[in-house]
Amino acid sequence: MPPIIEFTAPPLPHYIVSGSTLLPVGGKHPSRQNIGAFDLLVVVSGCLYVGEEGRDYEVESGHALILRPDCYHYAVEGCREETLHHWLHFQILGDWRVVEEEEYRQQQGSYADKETPGPPALRPFSVAPYTVPLPQFMKLAQPQKLAAAIGELTEMNRSIHISGVRLRQQALFQEVIVQLSASAGGDAPSPQSVCAEAAASYLRKHYREPFSATKLGESINFHPVYIARCMQKVFGCPPAVYLLRLRIQQSKLLLLQTDLTVERIAEQVGFNTASYFTACFTKMEGLSPRKYRQRFFWNKH
């Protein structure tokens, strides 16, 4: 069983940088030693084969792996299919330790068996520390919601020079930590989250196809109106807008990681015409696909 990374708060973990990488068949996660920061990998599609300190992991879609800052991690093998994943580097500035999952569960059980203590006698305005568990390898409770949050963090890097963005970034990163910790506790997602996640998963698998609310509803056995309501609550947008954002996100990866023409990229991500793709991209990103490609250089993970 994978271990638990347990840290004491305050202070809370600190976001450093994040990004997305699209690996081709045969592509590998880089092998590195003692990088000095935690490396969170969240797989959107495909599978990463990564090892650390003698443990090998198959990180499939909807799963996450946290690589430690003090260990050697390496590629076990190349990707067997095209694999899209988000990566995020963060640091824990306070105390942290690694606990084997069985030991952690036993520890939690022993706490539960004891009588609940009263509140600690604290001086006015003093801070009571607490511990937060993060599974090193986990199936995410809400994978699409977590991926969306990391994507937003990455987008914020473009505006990091603007006052207040860095603070908003750190605040959003704490939500990422909360979601990861929730996956440790096995908290059951709400019915609305289940519906929204199912719809998002379907759209990610079929984003190249024409959108049909009816077909979406039939595929996941929910009424289209209910799906729209759930996605609005969980992701802040209806299915059609979620799909558009997904297509634009995919197109950005292709613009920065390939030399495909704009016309070919538009076709690959599901747009009927290059002109409509350009119009949607420009409205969402504030510049055309060609200018986006010229302006931004891809930082390889």
H or E stretch including 219? helix 213-220
Q: pLDDT value at position 204?
A: 86
Q: Identify the band that residue 190 occupies on the pLDDT scale cut at 50, 70 and 90.
A: confident
Closest among 98, 47, 40 to 66, alpha carbons compared: 40
Q: pLDDT value at position 189?
A: 65
Whether 91 has a pLDDT exceeding 90, the answer reads yes
The burial of 193, by beta-carbon neighbours within 10 Å (0-12 exposed, 13-18 middle, 19 or more buried), is given as middle
21: which strand partners? 85
Of the chain, the percentage scoring pLDDT greater than 70 comes to: 87
- Quick: pLDDT tens for 46-87: 999 999 988 999 999 999 999 999 999 999 999 999 999 999
The verdict on pTM exceeding 0.75 is no
Q: Identify the band that residue 205 occupies on the pLDDT scale cut at 50, 70 and 90.
A: confident
Core vs surface per residue 62-98: b (16+ CB within 10 A) or e = bbbbbbbbeeebbeeeebeeebbbbbbbbebeeebee
Whether 118 has a pLDDT exceeding 50, the answer reads no
Q: Which residue has the higher pLDDT, 257 or 216?
A: 216
Mean pLDDT of the region 101-126: 55
Match 């990707």 to its residue by tokens: 79
How confident is the prediction for the chain on average, in pLDDT?
Answer: 86
Task: Compute, in degrees rounded to 10, the torsion defined by CA atoms 273, 232, 158, 22.
Answer: -60
Token pair recorded at residue 202:
């379907």
- Quick: pLDDT tens for 236-293: 899 999 999 989 988 988 888 788 999 999 999 999 999 999 999 999 888 899 998 8
Of the listed ranges 118-127, 161-170, 173-182, the least confidently predicted one is 118-127
Q: How many CA atoms lie within 13 A of 285 on its CB side?
A: 25
Of the listed ranges 31-35, 57-61, 220-224, 254-258, the least confidently predicted one is 254-258
Whether 112 has a pLDDT exceeding 50, the answer reads no
Q: pLDDT value at position 128?
A: 67
Of the listed ranges 70-74, 131-135, 157-161, 234-238, the least confidently predicted one is 157-161
Closest among 234, 171, 167, 165 to 198, alpha carbons compared: 234
Whether 225 has a pLDDT exceeding 60, the answer reads yes
Give the single-character DSSP code of 12.
P
